[in-house]
Structure 1
């Protein structure tokens, strides 16, 4: 093991120990806060817990990047030969639909007639999202819902188009069913939206790796508040307060095709209320509402909700990347993305030479 890698692993293990200690202190502080004592201490510990989670995720990424020593691997056993290989490439659908009859200040500010065509670094937002998946090396087929060949976009990779749909739920539903038409075999697929132009291949790869070993039916990305605030202090994102910290959506989802088809009807209300935390909690029932009001709602509670409401196993993936939480819905968010790129010329979106990796796309 290289000294750099060993040092990173030691730091990660120390962070995990700190997380365990903070978790115990959080439980004690929660009990005290329930009786009206030391609410500030609880807030501090929640913030510290979120910070350490993000730090652990960053250390895991650094360990992945650190050089590995050469290994001499034993010959695979007969049992290993019979194991199913882990899925390497994932078909993806990108929801890029919009309402042509609805006035949108973002379209007026950008001078375009379609949200996914809002320019960022000289290219439409959807272009950056597609390129992120292509450059990750983890993509198979790509389905875009809401655009067509008539828009004349060259992604440097083949894509399948689905006509515009009237809502986000209709867009993702159409995307899932188009992937089923392309290949009816059950497999893991990825879903996302066209309005996260700062997505990179590195983020996609990191998300996929941290969903492994793919032993649940659905994974979704979430971003800690402190990560978002460091990257975009004025993003005005909606956060769900949990015992472990406050989180917003990361707009990346990985799940089995059969699961995506199964939950379509049940998930519609949650997609339509995605910007309103209170309304979403209302859909989950009184027990969840009470835990939320008394600041006792946890990530484990949300996993139980996935099982109880949707009948599936699921889990969140905590993302240490503010970029994936910065969706562009309003003019001020577009301005923040442009300003962010001006402050970070090293970001891949800023004129980086885009690869034309197409293997596995046909």
Structure 2
């Protein structure tokens, strides 16, 4: 297995609609919304490139022309490392289509992130991949705790998944070892964002698992064991101690938080 993954960046429009931040900025895709002088996507590609200097990079987007002039995109294309993939109707469909475009089985291991994950850094992404390779999971979900996120910024996240031993939020980074691990992506067939839509938890993970979650019976470990049984693959959490990595640009509030943290890094 290669020591570098294929990297997939999801940059499409959620549900095919115009994001409020994109509308405010006067752009057609959220990934082109400027923050600290650069589009959201530019920050992510600039983290991915140095993290995996020889890796193939896939960008899933509805209109590839929208990002054709971004310096990081131009550089990856010139190096022969970039494949632009047409975003599909949903997240899972977009992932499946991108994998097919990248050669199917040869696209694995696959690291997936999103174009609004502007606080991701090269060392962090590389550490996630190396830890996942060394572990025994088929799929890895990157998480951070409420305490770590609030330490990064007290308003970084407002919704958390509450377990008996931890409150966590996801970091929009997912790792798949092989095609078998795609079973785990079925949880996102209806769009994800489970903290905002508990009905999706029931549909993705089953009503009994939802009840266990709501009643606080689960530890984080027992929850992931149940998820693994549900999808027939071993899904494990990777906990990052830097809570900033759980803050993506999802709305006006998190845009402001991310902008502040990016400025602090520069300073």
TM-score (norm: length of structure 2)? 0.85
**Distance of 1:261 and 1:245 partners within structure 2:** 27
- Counterparts of 1:172 and 1:128, CA distance in 2: 21
User: Where does residue 254 of structure 1 map in the other structure?
Assistant: 175
Counterpart-to-counterpart distance in 1, 2:66 and 2:168: 38
Alignment of 1:99-248 (within 5 A): 102-137=17-52, 140-146=55-61, 147-149=63-65, 151=67, 152-155=69-72, 156-158=75-77, 159-181=82-104, 184-185=105-106, 187-248=108-169
Report what 2:10 is aligned to.
95
- Mark the structure with the bigger radius of gyration: 1
Deviations 1:152-209 (A, max 9, x none): 222132311012333333322322322235xx33731111111111111011122123
Separation in 1, partners of 2:60, 2:138: 23
**Mapped partners of 1:150, 1:294: distance in 2:** 45
Distance 1:165 1:186, change over 3 A: closer
Shift in Å, 1:142: 0.5
CA distance in 1, matches of 2:28, 2:220: 39
**Superposition pairs of residues 20-59 of structure 1, within 5 angstroms:** none
Instruction: Tell me the distance in 2 between the aligned counterparts of 1:91 and 1:190.
Output: 6
Contact 2:163 2:218 in 1 (8 A): yes
CA contact (8 A) 1:98 1:167 kept: no
2:33, 2:39 within 8 Å by CA — same for their partners in 1? yes
Deviation at 1:325, TM superposition (A): 0.9
Q: Does 1:326 align with 2:247?
A: yes
1:108-162 superposed Cα distances (whole Å, 9 cap, x missing partner): 3323221001112221111111121111136511010005255322213231101
Deviation at 1:275, TM superposition (A): 4.0
Contact kept in structure 1, 2:184 and 2:231, CA below 8 Å: yes
- Mapped partners of 1:95, 1:101: distance in 2: 13
- CA 1:186/1:106 → structure 2, altered by over 3 Å: closer, same or farther? closer
Contiguous gaps of at least 5 residues in structure 2:
none
Q: 1:69 is matched with which residue?
A: none
Which of 308, 313, 336 is the aligned partner of 2:229?
308
Moved more, 337-346 or 99-108: 99-108
User: 1:230 offset after TM fit, Å?
Assistant: 1.4
Q: 1:160/1:149 Cα in 2 relative to 1: closer, same or farther (>3 Å)?
A: farther
Paired residues in the alignment total 258
Q: Structure 1 228/263 Cα, relative in aligned 2: closer, same or farther at 3 Å?
A: closer
| CA shift in 2, pair 1:99/1:118, >3 Å | same
CA contact (8 A) 2:139 2:174 kept: yes
Aligned match for 1:274, one of 184, 194, 197: 194
Q: 5 Å matches for 1:59-98? A: 87-98=2-13
Question: CA offset at residue 237 of structure 1?
Answer: 3.7
Q: Describe the shift of the 1:135–1:103 C-alpha distance in structure 2 as closer, same or farther (beyond 3 A).
A: closer
TM-score (norm 1): 0.64
